[in-house]
Homo-oligomer: A and B are copies of this chain.
Amino acid sequence: MSHLVKADELTKFGTSVLLATGVPQADAHLLADSLVTAELWGHSSHGMLRLPWYVERLRSGAMEAVTKSEIVQDNGAIVVVDGHHGIGQTLTMEAVHLGIERARNHGISAVAVRNSNHFGTAAYFTRETAKAGCVAFLATNASPAMAPWGGKQKAIGTNPWSIAAPAGSKGVAVMDIANTAVARGKIYLAAERGQDIPPLWAADENGVPTTDAQKAIHGLILPMAGHKGYVISFMMDVLAGVLTGSNFGSTVAGPYDPTRRSGCGHLLITIDVKSMMSEGEFAERMEALINEIKDIPKADGTDEIFFPGELEDSNTRRLAEAGITIADNTWQSLHKLSTETGVALPTYFNPA
């Protein structure tokens, strides 16, 4: 059984639950919106199923309800921010605004965030940067999820990263990937839905490949593209953890851990397009690249070729209208939050 709900109802619910947990209004709305936006993109793995995780971490104090960031280094084009274990979404959106402002002055900027928390999806932030006329690169580290190549124990996170660019009339082009064969969230979603996972996504705790989502949660996710996924993820940890002064390697705790400080870090690099060429020229060039891609002869079974991020835009238009489907397990966890906080559950949506 699943549940169909309008996006704004979900955002309202999430915001109110977080408000009731001590998070200030603006931050509560931002965090809730980041989850609902992932739902609209079609990435339920990073959607409402995570709301109870955040609430648990807020209740235990592992994540601070009131985010108090501190700039600990500032050279103009380089800013290092200590997040003091506040909300990852709040800290990263602060970094986006800082990064854009500094890129306007210097052409390029880097904002390092240390002692943060899981920020949801990287593309949520790089899209904002791109909408402001800048190219963005954002990397985060994350709790151990894969073994180094040739190892049989987790030490490196999925360490997602995103690149986005403004694309004129096409909106924004954006990629956002985890360096594992599959995002950890997709395994949680399969477990939540009681589904098996495809082979070669993960191994069990003994290192044996498995299709059992529950076993995979306690086992090893395999890197994407073999050793390539390992070396990429290692270097993203260097950028997001080692260089920012945050935790790195096996010392980062994940968002599903209710009690430990996360210690994760992020690195955002922002380039103002105008420092290289006019915004109009850049837009024309992006449109030309996108048009070329979309006009390529299609493989059998393919209706449309998408540029990076276009599928998410298309899903958003569709689901904003049709409503978001919430899996029953997730719905039950939202019901529990509703009972605990006194915030009314979102109302069902009945399509006409």
Residues of A within 8 A of B (CB): 73, 75-78, 80, 106-110, 112, 135, 137, 147-153, 155-156, 163-165, 173-175, 177, 181, 207, 224-225, 228-232, 234-235, 237-239, 241-245, 248-250, 269, 271, 273, 275-277, 282, 285-286, 288-289, 292-293, 296-299, 302, 304-308
A108–B78 CB distance below 8 A: yes
Q: Which of B108, B149, B165 contacts A242 (CB 8 A)?
A: B165
Chain A binding surface, main DSSP class: mixed
Q: Report Cα–Cα, A277/B265, bound state, in Å.
A: 15
Which interface residue of A151, A165, A269 has the most chain B CB atoms within 10 A?
Answer: A151
Instruction: With A78-B107, A80-B276, A163-B239 given, name 7 new contacts (CB 8 A).
Output: A76-B107, A173-B238, A181-B225, A225-B228, A225-B229, A235-B308, A249-B289
Q: Report Cα–Cα, A234/B174, bound state, in Å.
A: 9
Q: Report Cα–Cα, A351/B211, bound state, in Å.
A: 51
What's the nearest-Cβ distance from chain B to residue A238, in Å?
Answer: 5
Which interface residue of A224, A235, A249 has the most chain B CB atoms within 10 A?
Answer: A235
A271–B110 CB distance below 8 A: yes
- Using A289-B249, A305-B149 as known contacts, say yes or no to A78 and B135 having CB atoms under 8 A apart: no
Q: Report Cα–Cα, A64/B335, bound state, in Å.
A: 69
B305–A165 CB distance below 8 A: no
20 CB contacts below 8 A, A to B, read A73-B276, A76-B107, A78-B106, A108-B109, A112-B276, A135-B238, A147-B296, A148-B296, A150-B302, A155-B292, A156-B293, A163-B235, A163-B239, A164-B235, A165-B243, A174-B235, A225-B225, A234-B289, A238-B286, A242-B282
